[in-house]
Chains A and B, each alone.
Chain A
Amino acid sequence: MSNERKKLLLVGDNPFHGISHLSQERARVRGDAITHAEYDAELVMTSVENGADGFMFSVSETTLSILKIIREMEGIKSLRLYALVPYAYEYVRLATQVGGILGLAKKIAKQIAVSGNIRAIAMGFKGVIRTDPIALMKTYLIYEISRIKSSAGKQANLESVLLHEIITDMALALNLDWLFKSYVDFMLKLGMKPGFETRNFSHLVKKFREWNINFNKITIAAPFNKVGFQMNSSKTECERALANLPESHVIAISILAAGYLRPSEAINYIRTLSELKGVVAGVSKEHHARETFKLLEKNLA
């Protein structure tokens, strides 16, 4: 099956955070070089020169520094930005250090207060007084979006803000339809496409249909790869769910199954999924960036 139009090609940030889902050992061996923001910014821009359209990133100090450098290189206008919030693994680590969820909440509240973002502070205050989870979610989103904008600048094209898989999948498991709906409404009001990263794609599609969430208005990022890695509950179920979503904006992540597959194998599989609107690929070296995106552009155009 061939694609009628070019798929959106995004650079992923996992290697910049020292993440390898194939092997943590491999991530360590890659070492510190790759976690230098200047180097990472160059990799993103090299990818763009070779066919990438944008950058999908978790909002962290590392990626904000990368965005700042790209902005200084005057490359920000050419990037379509897809942000993932929160950077869950950093928060989990922080929770371990500061003593659980309450300690973490205090720490984030302090960061928001120090940021001086009046809108976020006011909404957060309301959220705490009324114990209103929606107000707190909005506070956090305003805070994160303002961080992105202050690093990437006004010219940045922030197309979508996606909820990180931990939040999406936990809310999905708990059937929190009101949270998903509030998030979608709030992001649309801000003029951005609401998005969801998930490792339970088929389950998410089923639930969103039940809850009448409009697939045309959202972005979904989910694993799609030849070996079914992280395609829960199964590869077949995920493919079936995707086939029934022709008008949606689904972006495939983990297309290389975390480095388990060769790019050509990965591409051959992705080409069979015409409903996919884009793919994300992480790169850790300059020649990777050139080869991977050249190959993706050539084969997914």
Chain B
Amino acid sequence: MMAAAIEIRSATKTYATGAEAIHAFGPSSLKVEPGEFISLVGPSGCGKSTLMLMIAGLLDCTSGEIDVGGHVVKAPETSIGIMFQDNTLVPWRTVRGNIELQIELRGLPVADYRSTVDRLINSVKLGDFAERYPYELSGGMQQRAAFCQTLVHRPGVLLLDEPLGKLDAMTREAIRRDLQTLWLADRPTVIFVTHSIEEAIQLSTRVCVISPRPGKIEKVIDIDLPWPRDLSIKRGEKFSAYASEIEEIFHGYGVL
């Protein structure tokens, strides 16, 4: 049997100590198999991003532990790809330069990744914008470029922290589709944070419903829908049933 891609074991996070302590997350456990697409859905401030940072090794667990790729995360996990809500494009580099920044910071030879960079840029339809600077791009194009930056070192595990959070509905839908296509092609393990129930159902193999603070994985729902999940699937009864099931849970918390 293959090892889990990610295993969360009773992980918790408490910020500060004593009277000012804020219990932000957990304890929660979750086992993610390789190639799964897991969405974390929950209200603002429920600790979704905290969990993300703990998986990435950018934040220590207060208790419990997390495995990535079969070992316990103790330091920043450099083998994975992580994308934040505010993109990490730097204004002094072009789209191509920003993607290559990921390679350069890792001390890898940029020349070896030329074809990967080109392929990625074309796959997100930024071919004509490779030599443009971020400020010359729309918000959606910037997120596409940032997505390439996250993927260029070919990580097997992707952590996407509300990458579509600041985009308009139409751009969101378009990028969602691209994201699904890319995932179906390469089948990386993905943890995807979102506010959108619909987005979570459309993209995921499983949806984790997170309770309000302190965030806990309250329910894990298997999404049994065929791929690719296009508009016809989204209009289907089964899709709506999943959506109502999740909405019902949030209604119970009083957040919906």
Q: Does B bind A?
A: no
Residues of B within 8 A of A (CB): none
A interface vs B, CB < 8 Å? none
